[in-house]
Every structure is written in structure tokens, then in C-alpha cells.
Structure 1
């Protein structure tokens, strides 16, 4: 294989890349979002500077991707923390668990999504919307919400989906030291909200050493939403370089 042919491959393995070189389009992407109040000290222990914590709020999410170009259907779950950066309010993606390896690899390599493999599920159980997250054989989260109790304004739902998102991109060099260590930002702009609902909700988090969602304990449920969308993800852009920043 010639050098110019090698250059056309974005990831390994060379002859069978881990993910398709496409911009994924999500059709009928379904969200269960539960925003809850947590311990401010627990947040300060995991949110990196220069991000700022204004309120101790976390969003637990389960997302069911019913049809995704390049990846196929899969489900994803995790936590996003409300933060501020440079005068802008957004979310810091703290943890993400998926049941699809290509989507996991692409999210980590192409962008900076903190994705690892897990077992999330989203389904309707009689009159309740249920989201669960497992790691191996162990349950680490259970979320329940009354199924379509009240309609949620489509503009409000869109605002929830399109909030600016911050992530930490860390790529080690061959000697183990950081080669890339950046805070990056992205924001969904290409989105169609098809339906949106709200209602009563509960969230249980269970202690697990490698899926430590419960380190951000649930103190109070603030809001919940169930949203159906079509969308595509925007590329990330670096906003802070830790290797170039001065130390205190």
C-alpha cells in the first residue's frame, strides 16, 4: 500500500477501520433526561478548570439511537454536569456508556466524548418510561419517568438538546506523557425536535468501582424530559490547551 493510500485512512486497523468515515445522521434519537441536584464538593472533585460550577446540577441521560448512518441502532447513557466557561453556560460531559463499539471508538478518536462500553437500555414499562445502565453484569443506574404526562414546548426541548458541550481530549504520547490535553467545545445546531414531554421522575444510582456514577449522589430531582429528535453532531473545536497554559 502506497504512502498516499495510507494517508487516506483516519483510523486503525488499516484494512478494516474501527468505524466508518462518515458524518452520522441520527433518525429518531430518543432522550430520557433527568436533571438533579448533587453535592457541590463531589462536582469540584471531577470538573476540570477552567470550567466553573455555578449550580451543583447534573443531567443523567439515556439516549436510544434508533437509526444512525454508519453505526446502526444503539443506546447510550451517562452524566453531564452544568458548567460555565468564558461567560457561557453549557455542560461538561463527565461519563458516557454505550453498547456499540464503532460509535464508542469514533466518539473518542474523532472528537473527545468520554465513551466506554456499557449496557444502557430505554423502554416503556406499562405507563412508565424506564432507562437503565449496566456495567458488566451489574446495574449502576435506574431512571423512571411518567410516560408522556405533560407536553414540553418544542423550543424548550431544542434548547436542552443544543446546549454547548465541553469535553476533555486526552491523547497520550508513546512515553505515556500527554501528547494532546485540551478542553474542547461542540454544539448541536442541525436538529429537528419531533416530540417532547415532561413528568414526574426518579433516579437511583448504585456504587460501582469502574462506573462511579453514584459519586455524584442524587439529592433532589429538578426536572425530567422525554424528547424525540433527528439530528447530526457538529465537530469539536479546542478552546483551552492545558499543555500551553501556565500553572499556579
Structure 2
């Protein structure tokens, strides 16, 4: 392999890249979202400056992605926190638990998604939409929602999907010191809502040392949505450099 070919590589291994060098398009991407109120003090401990928390709302999501260019079929679950930056409202993407190695690798390397391994699931149980997350052999989250009880306003569905997302991107030097430490922003704009519903929902989180979702306790469920979409992810852009600061 010539030097110029090495420089053009997106990722390794050289002869079997960890993920496909493509723009990721999702067909029939399905969401279960449960919005809940939590302890403001717990949010202040975890949300990084310069983001601010104006309303102590967390979104627990489970996403089933059966048809993704380059990545195939996989499922994710995680927590996003309502935040604000310079007057713009959005969400801080705290953690994503994923059952696909290529999706984890591409999300962390190519972008800034805070992905780690886990075993999420999204399915219909009789008249109930169920989202679960296991870490190892232990259950750490169970979300339930009445299946397609009430249509959700399409504008509200789009607003949920198009909310700006903020994440922390870190890349270390070989000696362990930080090479990159940035707050980045992304926003999905290329999206089609194929169906959208709301209904009664509940969420139970279980304490775990390594998958600490329950550190943001559920005080009150304030909303839920079940969305089916086609969409394309947008690139991230840095908005704050912690090393320069």
C-alpha cells in the first residue's frame, strides 16, 4: 500500500475497515421517546459548561434501525438532556448504548456520538410498545407506552427530531493527554416523518455502576412519542474548544 493510499483511509484495519466510508441513510428508523423530569442537582453535576440547563427534562430514547446504509440493522438506547447554548435550545447527548460494533466505531470516530456497548430492544407486546436496555446480563431500563393511542402533531414530531444535539468529542494523545476536547453541535434536517403517535408512558431505571442511567432519576413522566422516520445524519461542527479555554 502506497503512502498516499494510507492517508486516504477513513479507519482501520487496513484490509477490513471497522465501518463503511459512506453517508448514513436510515430507512424506517423507529423511535420510542419518554420525556421525564429529573433532579436539577443531578443534571448540574453532569452537563458540561458552557451548556446550561433551563428545565430539568431528560429524554430516554430507544431507536430501532432495521435498514441503514453501510451499517445494516441495529438498535440504540440512551439519554439526552434539555439544554441551552447562547439562547439556542437543544439536547446534550449524554450516552448511547448500542448493539453494533460498526455503529459504535463510526459514531465515535467519524463523529462525536458517545456510544458504548449495550443490548437495547424495541418491540410490541400485545397493546404496549416496549423499549428495554440491558448492560451485560442486567436490565438497566424499561420503558412502556400505549401503542398508537393518539396521533402526534406532525410539527411536534419534526421539532423533536430536528432539535440541535450537543456532544463532547475527545481524542487523546499517545501519552494520554488530550489532543482534542471540544463541544460539538449537529442537527438533523433531512428527515421524513412517516408516522407519529403519543400515549401514556412509564419509565423505570435500575441502578448500575457502569451504566448509570438511574443517576438521573425519574421524578415525573411528562410526555412520550412513537415515531417512524426516514432520515440522514448531518455532520457535526465544533462550537467550543475546552483546550483553548
Shift of 1:30: 0.2
What is the CA distance between 1:65 and its match in structure 2?
A: 0.3
Displacement of 1:10 in angstroms is 1.1
Question: Which ranges in structure 2 are unaligned for 5 or more consecutive residues?
Answer: none
Give 1:104's aligned residue. 104
Alignment match, 1:215: 215
Which residue is 1:59 aligned to? Answer: 59
What pairs with 1:194-205 in structure 2 (closer than 5 Å)?
A: 194-205=194-205
**C-alpha deviations, 1:7-41, integer Å up to 9, x for none?**
11111111111000001110000000000000001
Deviations 1:149-177 (A, max 9, x none): 00001121011001000000011111101
Pairs within 5 Å for 1:1-248? 1-245=1-245
Cα distance, 1:131 vs structure 2: 0.1
Aligned mates of 1:212, 1:90 — CA distance in 2? 22
Give the deviation of 1:2 after TM superposition. 0.5
Gaps of 5+ in 1: none
SS of residue in 2 equivalent to 1:73: strand
> TM-score with structure 1 length normalisation?
0.98
Structure 1 stretch 8-17 or stretch 191-200: which is displaced more? Answer: 8-17
Looking at structure 2, the residues matched to 127 and 10 of structure 1 have their Cα atoms a distance apart, in angstroms, of 44
CA distance in 2, matches of 1:86, 1:182: 16
Q: CA deviation at 1:228?
A: 0.3
SS across alignment from 1:204: strand
| Counterpart-to-counterpart distance in 2, 1:167 and 1:52 | 13
Distance 1:16 1:45 in 2: 40
Q: Per-residue deviation at 1:66? A: 1.5
CA–CA distance in 2 between the matches of 1:112 and 1:209? 23
Task: State the TM-score, normalizing by the size of structure 2.
Answer: 0.99
Question: What is the CA distance between 1:89 and its match in structure 2?
Answer: 0.2
Superposition CA RMSD, Å: 0.5
